[in-house]
Amino acid sequence: MKHPIKLALLGQPNSGKSTIFNTLTGSHQHVGNWPGKTVERKEGRFSHNKKDYLIVDLPGSYSLSANSDEEIITRDYIADGNADLVLILADGSQLERSLYMLADYVGITTPAMLVVTMIDVATDQGKTIDLERLSTNLNMPVAGIVATDKKTYGSFFKILEKALTDKHPVDDTDLYQIYKSGSQSDRFQEAMNMVSQGHKGFSREWLAGKLIEQDEAVIDLIDQKVDDEQVAEYLIGPITGALYTSECKFKWISAKLDGVVTKTKEPSKLLTKFDRLAISRRWGKPLAIFIIVIGIAMSFVIAGPIMMLAGVLPKVLNPLIDNFVASGMSVGVGMFLQGTIVNAIYWTVAMLGFVFGVTIVFGFLEEVGYMARVSYAFDGSMAKIGLQGKSIMPLLVSLGCTIGGAAGTRVIDSWGQRLLTIALAWAVPCAATFAVIPTLATAFFGWAGILVMILLFVIALIHIRITARVFGRKLAPLEERHGLIMELPPYHKPRWGMLIRQTLNKIWGIFKKAFFVILVISVIFYFLAYSPSGGVEGSILYKIGTAIEPVTRIFGMGWQTFISFISSMVSKEAVLGVLSAIFSGTGNIFDSTVGTAAASADLGTILVSSISKAEALAFMIAVTFNIPCLMAVTSTYQESHSLKWTMRIALYYFATALVLSALTYHVANIFI
């Protein structure tokens, strides 16, 4: 069988890399992690003119320096000759800055072509890009496309086929002439003397340039071939090597852009004023929080019709099953189908409603260029817990729904940072928690229930700091943390077609995974909660709960509250219904958990007379910081592509919820 042509996509974040990858590959994608690394690996396939292609979406980065796992993986993959051709992306709306990746690539021997994206945005800015002149200046193939518009891919494919026929490295003559004639030319020549030859796909000049920059991976490589003392002595010299090479690269870029870009339009004064406000130290954060809160509200508005549709589905499907039962189907089978299949569909569609709303709203903010400003404004604050500024949006969205918070982490480039953000988002109390806990707090503590809510937020902040330390050591090691390096993209019109297509593709992917997981859990929980009499006492959950009550008492919960605590892992909204089923006998545990049984009207009175205030407080804290819900688990798995890490986070929250419950109960017993 003929092997496919291997392409690698290389570019800075927000350069349109993911859009091109999705457009070319469609549903023919595979997402996993690079072996031994917490870095996402995306591969896809497509065919054109009877030729098969395998394309790898390399991790987004701003350079090929060895500052992170992403950058090391990217440059090693390229230098090892894994790709037949590297497609280097550059944002046409800010061409000079985004060509830095190409300048850093110069000296790597793997053949490459340049793909200029955001051509439409550049046009809106009043810029005209002469791609033929750019190709001539660079002496390499150059294609221009609008990543979201497949009509613009015709010339791209023609130039791609030509580049594959006439493969050659990027011309490095002019760049290294600048290195040799600049203020640190002696340092460059000294580095060249130590680097006797190239290595893999790295030329001798490229390695010498990285040695000036004091690139640790290159230093280790040179150490193996040259006397250690000679290298150590070289490194004692000026530490401005990275600044020098950057100046050389931008000088090279400036020369290559001569006569390429023509500008006929000045930027909008109104947008300029707004931008100053968006990135100001005083107003940037309040403005971001205000816009995100509005965004969360809009997400619920958009999600409303889909959630209403989800609510209609059981009303349509359950009568159909009733008809089958009337026609001879077993009553038990009918109840099983209604309790598992129908409810799995209901939950999944309801979940997708909010994910759709969040993805559209915050995808819009990302698309027009504003989310980069939010990341910039909060980068310093997020750095204190090992995250970057892009993590603030998912954490704030989690106040509305943890599922949306997990979905929102897709804007984060690093897989480790993305998963750490999700892990912290689980500690943020969601809207469902606010629907349950205040009811219980008021029933047990009256007006002082507000103090319970304040306590929950204090614990949440402490929980986030501790969780960041626990998971941050592996997902975001100290040595890999650095300030957010990013370009602030220009504001531009949203590309609604692309945004909606990407959202629908994402929703379909989530549906396939979420429905299966929810169905499996529903079946398991159905049999655990099933009772021949319909009450609580005949269920397996009841038997397990009463058997382990001596243990659950250590955590401050009797068997009744412990079973309710377990049900909160399926959905927070289930808590009141399950408590009602157990204490007042209205409904059964399963129906209450899946949201089809209402709580008893006098539930508060019954609970106050049945359990102590200390147990109630412990229970409320346990529920708040337990696994958010089953749908949050499936969303985490969808975004992380790692069952191992999803289970680690779930077990961690289950365990910490019990620890917090135990501490609360035993302390509260002293004072209450």
Tell me the C-alpha to C-alpha distance, in Å, between residue 669 and each of 288, 438, 447, 618. 42, 21, 20, 10
Q: For residue 106, report the phi and psi dihedrals to the nearest 5 degrees.
A: -55, 125
Phi, psi (5° rounding) for residue 47? -125, 145
> 428-475, pLDDT tens digit by residue?
988 778 778 888 888 888 888 888 889 999 999 999 999 999 998 888
pLDDT at 651: 96
State residue 357's pLDDT score.
Answer: 83
Residue 183: per-residue pLDDT: 87
Query: Comparing 397 with 424, which gets the higher pLDDT?
Result: 424
Adjacent-strand bridge partners of 115: 89, 143
Identify the residue whose tokens are 């390399």. 58
In this prediction, residues 99-121 reach a mean pLDDT of 90
Q: Can you point out the beta strands (E) in 49-136?
A: 51-57, 85-91, 112-117, 127-129
For the cut 90, the answer to whether the pLDDT of residue 116 exceeds it is: yes
Which range has the worst mean pLDDT, 35-39, 112-116, 391-395, 596-600? 596-600
Query: Strand pairing partners for 7?
Result: 55, 85
- Whether 215 shows a pLDDT value over 80: the answer reads yes
pLDDT band at 328 (very low <50, low <70, confident <90, very high): confident
Phi/psi at 26 (5° precision): 60, -125
The amino acid at residue 397 is V
pLDDT in tens, 571-626: 887 777 777 767 755 556 666 565 555 454 556 677 778 889 999 999 999 999 99
Q: How confident is the model at residue 149 (pLDDT cuts 50, 70, 90)?
A: confident
At residue 582, the pLDDT reads 74
Instruction: Identify the pLDDT of residue 242.
Output: 83
Rounded Cα distance, 204 and 108, in Å: 9
Band (535; pLDDT cuts 50, 70, 90): low
Q: Across the strands, what pairs with 188?
A: none
Q: Residue 416 has what pLDDT? A: 84
pLDDT for position 217: 82
Please answer whether residues 541 and 563 qualify as being in contact, where contact means their C-beta atoms are separated by less than 8 angstroms.
Answer: yes
Q: How confident is the model at residue 295 (pLDDT cuts 50, 70, 90)?
A: confident
Number of neighbours of residue 146 by Cβ within 10 angstroms: 20
3 state DSSP class of 653: helix
* Model confidence at 485: pLDDT above 60: no
The one-letter amino acid code at 35 reads P
Rounded to the nearest integer, the mean pLDDT of the chain is: 83
Quick one: what percent of the chain has pLDDT higher than 70? 91
Integer angstrom CA distances of residue 499 from 122, 362, 503: 19, 10, 6
Per-residue pLDDT at 588: 60
Say how many C-beta atoms besides its own lie within 10 A of residue 328's C-beta.
6
Most confident of 247-251, 279-283, 520-524, 606-610: 247-251
Q: Which two tokens stand for residue 667?
A: 């302390």
Q: What's the rounded Cα separation, in Å, for the pair 159 and 141? A: 7
Residue 619 to residue 612: CA distance in whole angstroms: 10
CA-to-CA distance for 546 and 548, rounded, in angstroms? Answer: 6
Contact 495, 148 (CB under 8 A): yes
Q: What is the mean pLDDT of residues 471-488?
A: 69
pLDDT of residue 9: 93
pTM exceeds 0.75, yes or no: no
Task: Please tell me the predicted confidence (pLDDT) of residue 657.
Answer: 95
Sorted by where each starts, the structural domains of the chain and their CATH numbers stand as 5-165 (3.40.50.300), 173-263 (1.10.287), 277-428+481-495 (no CATH), 505-671 (no CATH)
Residue 433: which of 632, 294, 233 has the closest Cα?
632
pLDDT (0 to 100) of residue 62: 75
| pLDDT higher than threshold 60 for residue 37 | yes
Q: What pLDDT sits at residue 460?
A: 92
d(CA 283, CA 609): 50
Three-state DSSP state, 599: coil
pLDDT confidence bin for 484, thresholds 50/70/90: low
Q: How many residues are there in the chain?
A: 672
pLDDT of residue 255: 92
Res. 391: pLDDT tops 90: no
Single-letter amino acid, residue 231: V
Distance of alpha carbon 241 from alpha carbon 190, whole angstroms? 13
Which helix or strand (DSSP H or E) is residue 397 part of?
helix 392-397
In tens, the pLDDT along 625-665 reads: 999 988 888 888 888 888 899 999 999 999 999 999 999 99
Between CA 75 and CA 63 the distance in angstroms is 9
Q: Would you state the pLDDT for residue 132?
A: 92
Average pLDDT on 192-215 reads 86
Q: Which of 22-26, 47-51, 81-85, 164-168 has the lowest mean pLDDT?
A: 22-26
Residue 497 has pLDDT above 80, yes or no: no
**How far apart are the C-alpha atoms of 185 and 177, rounded to whole Å?**
10
pLDDT of residue 426: 94
Per the structure block, which two tokens stand in for 153? 């891919």
State both tokens at 111.
């053949």
Distances (CA, A) of 269 to 265, 275, 370, 491: 12, 10, 16, 12
Distance, CA of 249 to CA of 615 (rounded, Å): 65
Structure token digits, residue 27? 């549903």
Helices within 106-202 (DSSP H only): 119-124, 131-138, 153-165, 173-181, 185-194
According to the model, what pLDDT value does residue 614 have? 92
Given a contact cutoff of 8 angstroms between Cβ atoms, the answer to whether 642 and 39 are in contact is no
Buried b or exposed e, range 97-122, using 16+ CB within 10 angstroms: ebbbbbbbbbbbbbbbbbbbbbbbbb
Q: Is 493 exposed, middle or buried (0-12, 13-18, 19+ CB in 10 A)?
A: exposed
